[in-house]
Amino acid sequence: MFSGNQNNHQKHSFVWSDSAKIFLLFAAFCIVILAIIVRFVFIYKATHKARYTRHIAMDGYKNPILSAEGDFIAISIKTQDLYIDPNIVLDKPKTLKILQKYFKNLEQAEIKRKLEKTSWILVQRSINQKTLHSLIEEGLIGIKLQDSFKRIYPEDSLFSHIVGYTNIDGEGLAGVEKYYNDALYENSVSLSLNRAVQSIVHDELVGAVRKFRAKSAFAVIMDIKTGEIISSVSIPDFNPNNIQNSSGDAMRNAVSASALELGSVFKLFTLAFALENGVSEDYKIRTKDGIKIEGGRVIRDEHSTADEMSVSEVFYKSSNVGSGIMSLMFGDKKFVEFLTKLGVYKKLSTNLPEGEIASPIFNKNDFSRSRIITTSYGYGVSLSALHFLAIANGIINDGKYLPPTFIKNGNKGISPVKIVSKQTSQKAIEIANKVVTEGTARRAAIAGYKICGKTGTSQKYDPAIKGWSTEKKLLSFFSIFPCSNPKYVMYLAVDEPKPTPESNLHIYANLYGGTVSAPVSSKIISVISPMLNIQTDKE
């Protein structure tokens, strides 16, 4: 029986022919080849852009970066790189000696090692003709010149923190140069920055730093309707043409990369919160008794003895107590929810590299009563100037938020996000005008122009004394101009100013946002308003 089954099995078993075997082997081979081709196509597509960019960078031209008016901010000029061909160098010790004489930064051991090889040795990018002639006169043999492009910045430091800089190969390392590095090999990039306005702001900030012997000063101006940044200046700054001699402090863009407790300018958000929740500008708040926080402590207004203030007065007289009470009017969570809706706790998005945009700093685990109160007047969360201005602009722009952009027409096609009502927006602007006419920013008044705004005086934490300093302050002014028909908003700050004879502010107690930053802002607005075709107010 076993034998029969075996015979039956043998009778029906399938035998592969030689042609079938060959066909199967060929099919398997084709499948393997196809898989390899697909893989190569995938790798090609994934790396094509990078390789294309590198090819262009080596062989050709990186396009200009332009101002809003079309002026060159960054351009590439044709130059020549100096190489040595070791194959035709006969006297290598002499060659080494000549190179060491003219190029002190070259390591002698490294050049000596390379002279023993056969590939070209890069000696100097963008060799100047005077040095080249001197090398020829010295009898240097084996010189090879190769065309290349050098990135230069005609305006030196004027746009430095926004335009950024490149390495010796033209690859962007900071600012717009880095953010749009690949795109610049294919097209030019037009910034929204206005060269004339940028120059005025730059000069005034340099003057403010000198006048107050300040640590730094910075300002940013935004077009209300488009979200375009027309000026952004941070002093100290650097020259991207001479990056090797720039300090770390000068390289930092304080407008976007520094998160700071901004002080009372933050009360604009608190005012908007109250108005958005139906609180009248005339609603009276008792401020005389201060406001209690944990531990039995009481926060009081240092410069007010009024029994009560209206919501409007709380803002333009800058009452910390009134702001704190307003933040708690609808329960502890409501104010935090409102700030979340505004985007206070979310990292800003704009056209700068990741490392140049500060994240908001706040304690995610602490939304206690005291934290909410201090946040209401600008001490519970740290924001960059750009972050603050973007949200403030959203409140002023009929309650419609647009992301800040450094690119001309950069927000074209982007729909704004509604963050407050138009009614809240209009009322906030009206109240902000009283800051200049009746409140803390009277020195910001300009003849012929109706200005709105909010001052900020923020004491800074000093690690040396392990406490809040009475001398180290961030003094700021947020302005809206013209107030009658808002077109632009500006945030300007002077960091750690000192009392000086030139300022007629002789003690630290006289240094406030209203006495330091408001006048600087006023000067800038008075000069740039005619340039921006802003008509004087009739009233």
8, amino acid identity: N
Residue 408 belongs to domain with CATH number: 3.40.710.10
Strand partners, 467: 462
Assigned domain for 100 exists: no
Distance CA 523, CA 182 (A): 39
Tens digits of pLDDT across the chain (539 residues) = 334 444 444 444 455 566 766 767 776 777 767 767 666 555 545 444 444 444 444 455 899 999 999 999 999 988 878 887 777 777 778 877 787 787 777 777 777 777 777 777 787 777 878 888 888 887 777 777 877 788 999 999 999 999 999 998 889 999 999 999 999 999 999 999 999 999 999 999 999 999 999 999 999 999 999 999 999 999 999 999 998 888 888 999 999 999 999 999 999 999 999 999 999 999 999 999 899 888 778 999 987 778 999 999 999 999 999 999 999 999 889 999 999 999 999 999 999 999 999 999 999 888 899 999 999 999 989 999 999 999 999 999 999 999 999 999 999 999 999 999 999 999 999 999 999 999 999 999 888 888 999 999 999 988 888 888 989 999 999 999 999 899 999 999 999 999 999 888 989 999 999 999 999 999 999 999 999 999 887 65
Distance CA 258, CA 230 (A): 20
Report which of 478, 481, 491 is spatially closest to residue 534, judged by C-alpha positions.
481
- Please spell the DSSP secondary structure of 474-539, one letter per residue: EEEEEEEESTTS--EEEEEEEES---BGGGTB-SGGG--IIIIIHHHHHHHHHHHHHHTTPPPP--
Distance CA 115, CA 89 (A): 8
CA atoms within 13 A on the CB side of 98: 21
pLDDT at 12: 47
Distance CA 329, CA 472 (A): 33
Assigned domain for 139 exists: no
pLDDT at 240: 96
Query: Which run of H or E residues covers position 216?
Result: strand 216-223
Assigned domain for 141 exists: no
Assigned domain for 428 exists: yes
Sign of CA dihedral 196, 197, 202, 208: positive
Q: Which two tokens stand for residue 304?
A: 């007010």
pLDDT at 39: 64
Distance CA 496, CA 517 (A): 12
pLDDT at 213: 96
pLDDT at 58: 47
Which alpha helices (H) appear in 171-328, and where do they start and end?
175-179, 195-212, 248-251, 254-257, 267-276, 311-316, 320-327
Assigned domain for 98 exists: no
- How many separate domains does the chain show? 1
Q: Which residue has the tokens 């450094």?
A: 406
Assigned domain for 291 exists: yes
Q: Which two tokens stand for residue 431?
A: 């109240």
Report which of 198, 254, 476, 294 is spatially closest to residue 384, judged by C-alpha positions.
254
511, amino acid identity: L
Assigned domain for 20 exists: no
Within 10 angstroms of residue 360's Cβ, the number of other Cβ atoms is: 18
pTM here is 0.84
Beta strands 165-166 and 143-152 are unpaired
Assigned domain for 440 exists: yes
Query: Which run of H or E residues covers position 151?
Result: strand 143-152
The SS3 of residue 375 is helix
Which alpha helices (H) appear in 343-498, and where do they start and end?
369-376, 385-396, 422-437
Q: What distances in angstroms separate CA 133 from CA 89, 127, 129, 142, one per listed residue?
A: 18, 10, 6, 14
Question: Which residue range is the domain that position 481 belongs to?
Answer: 197-531
Cα torsion 186, 192, 198, 202 to 10°: value is -80
